[in-house]
Amino acid sequence: MAEHTTHRSITGDDTAGAPALRRGRLSTASLVFIIIAASAPLTVLAGGIPTAFSVSGLLGAPLAYVALGVILVLFAVGYGRMSSRIQNSGAFYAYISEGLGNRQGIAAAILALVSYNMMQIGLYGMFGFSAAAAVSGWTGLDVPWWVAGATGWVIVAVLGVNKIDLSAKVIGVLVVLEFLVVIAVSGLSLGHAPEGITAQGLLPDQFFTAGIGVLLAFSIAAFMGFESGAIYSEETRDPERTVPRATYIAVGVIAVFYAFSAWALATGVGPGKVIEEATTYGPDLVFVWLAERSPVLSDIATVLFVTSLIAALLAFHNAAARYFFSLGRAGVIPRVFARSGTNGAPVAGSLTQSALSLLVVAVFAVAGLGSDLGDLYPVLTLFTWLTNAAAFGLVFLLTVTGVAILVWSSRQKDGAGVFTRVVAPLVSSIGLAVVAVLILANFDLMIDGAGPEWLVYVMPGVIIATGLGSLVWGEVLRRIRPATYAALQDNLDQVPD
């Protein structure tokens, strides 16, 4: 039976003198850009969509984005309602603690921290490869992937310890440029449709079939980070409205935009051969196709593909840093992680995240020396292994959060209707649970044989073991530091009824 603690209503910037992040930094537009940056629009167009076509063998990728968008909009109904009442930089921790109890909240927070870390660090593999390939293509210089990755690491590390609105401005510019390029590619695709503009890819028989599980498992990656809006609730100008509004906008934009982009790309390449082409070229499909029709746009897209990864790295870095901060403030991990700078940024968490990234990338750099995988080594190992495991962890956390929202909603006496209190969180939780199972069932396809067979069990196992170990740590904390454990929910910055 889940424990429940009576909460103190907090309306100021501080909880019993605990450290706080700087309020009033983020507007709705800034938060939307941060959320969308984590999904990296150009990365999805170049990497996610061709991969979905090639691995599933289906044209139904557009409908997969729509279906997942519906599930996540339903999730956002309760998520947004809860975020308007509880503002905390450790969103999963705060919401699951409130709904299911402290032990579960601690486990969720640590699992979220590990998942965001794996997602962020894994992206350095793709960034290093892409940046090195771009430099080589333009200058002929053979730059090691880890040297290119180090350049991105410096940028992210510097921005990570600065005020959040600086990161938001950088991310905002990059995301707008990404959108413009994706729109241009989509327009060019529709203008060069070799088989004409058809409804192929939008027909149910290309979605409701045997490959649906693969489509959903691969397509969910495009939405990773949509939940991060609540992480910044302490730093928004009007958290009661900003976070729910930004989450709805981001999910809606991502679902519609990616569905349209996937359909347009299939139309531009040709529905009859897009699967074959995607299998042949993989993430290079978009750039190869562009180079034949608009070399200038291909060069621009290549640059923005690299910068889109910078935006995603920064978005996930900021999310992980705020989980370090929230857990440190709560006493779940050493309180040194709760240190923030004069600019209101979670400096200790940010520096820790940067140090972890440097360490893991260095290990992969050394391990990859002389690898038979050649230039693709960082993509097939660091990127593929860590990001897919992280995706499973985040989808699993979203499922548990949906259950927590359902439980929390049942206790509220604010007059909300049955759809808001029960239907939306229940349906979204079931949908997310199905996607989590599909990721596990198709994990061998997701890592595409990039490594030994035991990785299929070890990488998801890391996520599961983290969750179970964190539950144990929550119980240990309850026994050896009961005062800290009992005070955990005092750190949930809750708006009065």
The Cα 232–Cα 314 span in angstroms is 14
Q: Please say whether the beta carbons of 174 and 42 come within 8 A.
A: no
Residue 451 sits at φ, ψ, to 5 deg, of 135, 180
pLDDT of 68: 92
pLDDT at 427 over 90: yes
DSSP helix, strand, coil percent of the chain (3-state; round to 5)? 75, 0, 20
pLDDT of 20: 57
pLDDT of 270: 92
Q: Please say whether the beta carbons of 265 and 189 come within 8 A.
A: yes
The set of residues, in sequence order, having a beta carbon less than 8 Å from that of 70 and lying 6+ positions away, is 255
pLDDT of 90: 56
Q: Label residue 89 by pLDDT band (50, 70, 90).
A: low
pLDDT of 374: 85
pLDDT of 12: 33
Choice among 146-150, 194-198, 340-344, 433-437 with the minimum mean pLDDT: 340-344
pLDDT at 1 over 80: no
- Tokens in use for 315? 């978005």
Mean of the pLDDT values across residues 260-281?
A: 91
* Secondary structure letter of residue 233 according to DSSP: G
Q: Label residue 4 by pLDDT band (50, 70, 90).
A: very low
Q: How far apart are the first and last CA of the chain?
A: 25
pLDDT of 490: 54
What is the dotted CATH code of the domain comprising 28-490?
1.20.1740.10
Q: Pick from 465, 321, 454: which is nearest to 393 by CA? A: 465
CA distances, 111 to each of 42, 117, 316, 324, 464 (Å): 28, 10, 14, 12, 9
The Cα 65–Cα 222 span in angstroms is 8
Report the percent of the chain where pLDDT is more than 70: 89
Q: What is the pLDDT of residues 155-184, one digit of tens each?
A: 999 988 886 666 777 877 888 888 888 999
Using DSSP's 3-state secondary structure scheme, residue 128 falls into helix
Burial class of residue 426 (count of CB atoms within 10 Å of its CB; 0-12, 13-18, 19+) = middle
Q: Please say whether the beta carbons of 204 and 67 come within 8 A.
A: no
* Secondary structure letter of residue 47 according to DSSP: I
The Cα 301–Cα 9 span in angstroms is 49
Mean of the pLDDT values across residues 393-398?
A: 90
Question: Of 48 and 8, which is predicted with more confidence?
Answer: 48
DSSP sequence for 76-127: HHHHHHHHTTEE-S-HHHHHHHHHH-HHHHHHHHHHHHHHHHHHHHHHHHHH
pLDDT at 271 over 50: yes
Q: Please say whether the beta carbons of 345 and 163 come within 8 A.
A: yes
Q: What is the pLDDT of residues 48-78, one digit of tens each?
A: 888 888 888 889 989 999 999 999 999 988 8
Scanning the structure block, which residue is given the tokens 């350049």?
A: 151
Domain ranges within the chain, ordered by starting residue: 28-490
pLDDT of 10: 29
pLDDT at 495 over 60: no
The Cα 180–Cα 192 span in angstroms is 18
Looking at every residue in the chain, the average pLDDT score rounds to: 83
pLDDT of 199: 87
Q: Please say whether the beta carbons of 391 and 221 come within 8 A.
A: yes
CA distances, 491 to each of 84, 197, 295, 470 (Å): 16, 54, 54, 19
What pTM was estimated for this model as a whole?
0.83
- Residue 7's Cα: distance from chain center in Å? 30
Q: What is the pLDDT of residues 286-326, one digit of tens each?
A: 888 998 888 888 888 888 888 888 888 988 898 888 888 88
Q: Label residue 18 by pLDDT band (50, 70, 90).
A: low
Q: Please say whether the beta carbons of 395 and 71 come within 8 A.
A: no
Q: Label residue 124 by pLDDT band (50, 70, 90).
A: very high
The Cα 255–Cα 69 span in angstroms is 5
Burial class of residue 1 (count of CB atoms within 10 Å of its CB; 0-12, 13-18, 19+) = exposed
The set of residues, in sequence order, having a beta carbon less than 8 Å from that of 459 and lying 6+ positions away, is 385, 386, 388, 389, 443, 447
Q: What is the pLDDT of residues 189-216, one digit of tens each?
A: 999 899 999 888 888 888 888 778 888 8
Using DSSP's 3-state secondary structure scheme, residue 493 falls into strand
Q: Label residue 469 by pLDDT band (50, 70, 90).
A: very high
pLDDT of 360: 96
Q: Please say whether the beta carbons of 384 and 444 come within 8 A.
A: no
Question: Of 233 and 457, which is predicted with more confidence?
Answer: 457
pLDDT of 70: 93
* Secondary structure letter of residue 494 according to DSSP: E
CA angle 250, 227, 461 (to 5 degrees): 135
Choice among 80-89, 155-164, 279-288, 330-339 with the minimum mean pLDDT: 80-89
The Cα 379–Cα 240 span in angstroms is 40
Which range of 281-290, 331-340, 361-370 scores highest in mean pLDDT? It is 361-370
The Cα 457–Cα 443 span in angstroms is 9
pLDDT of 497: 38
Question: Of 454 and 65, which is predicted with more confidence?
Answer: 65
